[in-house]
Amino acid sequence: MPEPQTDIGSLDAQPADRISESGEDLGPSEVQGGSIRCRIFVTVGTDLPFDRLVKTVDQWAAANDEVEVFAQIGETEFKPKRIAYSKLLEPAVFKQKFTSADLIVSHAGMGTILSSLQFRKPLLVMPRKASLGEHRNEHQLATAKYLTELGKINVAADENELLDILQNGRRLQTRDPIGPYADESLTDAIKAFIRTA
Partner 1 sequence: MDKKPKVLAIASGGGHWVQLLRLRPAFEECDVLFATTREGYRSEVAPQRFKLIPDGNRWQKLKLLKCALAVAILIIREKPDIIATTGAAPGYFAIRFGNLLRKKTIWVDSIANAGELSMSGQQAGKYTDLWITQWEHLAKPEGPSYLGNVLG
| Shortest distance in whole angstroms from residue 173 CB to partner 1 | 16
Residue 162 CB, shortest distance to partner 1, in Å, is 20
Tell me which H or E stretch contains 90.
none
x/- contact string, 27-66, with partner 1 (CB under 8 A)?
------------------xxx-------------------
CB neighbours of residue 23 within 10 Å: 6
In whole angstroms, the minimum distance from the beta carbon of 185 to partner 1 comes to 4
Is residue 90 close enough to count as binding partner 1 by CB under 8 A? yes
Q: Which is closer to partner 1, CB of 15 or CB of 49?
A: 49
Q: Does 131 participate in binding partner 1 (rule CB under 8 A)?
A: no
Binding of residue 132 to partner 1 (CB under 8 A): no
Q: How far apart are CA 21 and CA 66, in angstroms?
A: 26
- Dihedral sign for Cα 111, 100, 125, 55, please: negative
- Distance, in Å, from the CA atom of 134 to the CA atom of 49, rounded to the nearest integer, reads 7
Residue 75 as a binder of partner 1 (CB under 8 A): the answer is: no
DSSP for 100-167? H-SEEEE-S-HHHHHHHHHTT--EEE----GGGTSSSSTHHHHHHHHHHHTT--EE--SHHHHHHHHH
Distance between CA atoms of residues 109 and 103, nearest Å: 16
Where does this chain touch partner 1 (CB under 8 A) — which range of 63-71, 75-83, 97-105, 178-186?
Answer: 178-186
CB atoms within 10 A of CB 4: 13
Residue 182 touching partner 1 (CB under 8 A)? yes
174 binds partner 1 (CB under 8 A): no
Based on the shown chain and the rule CB under 8 A, indicate whether residue 179 belongs to the binding site for partner 1: yes
Instruction: In whole angstroms, give the CA distance from residue 123 to residue 147.
Output: 12
Residues near partner 1 (CB under 8 A) are: 45-47, 90-92, 108-115, 117, 136-143, 145-147, 150, 152, 178-191, 193-195, 197
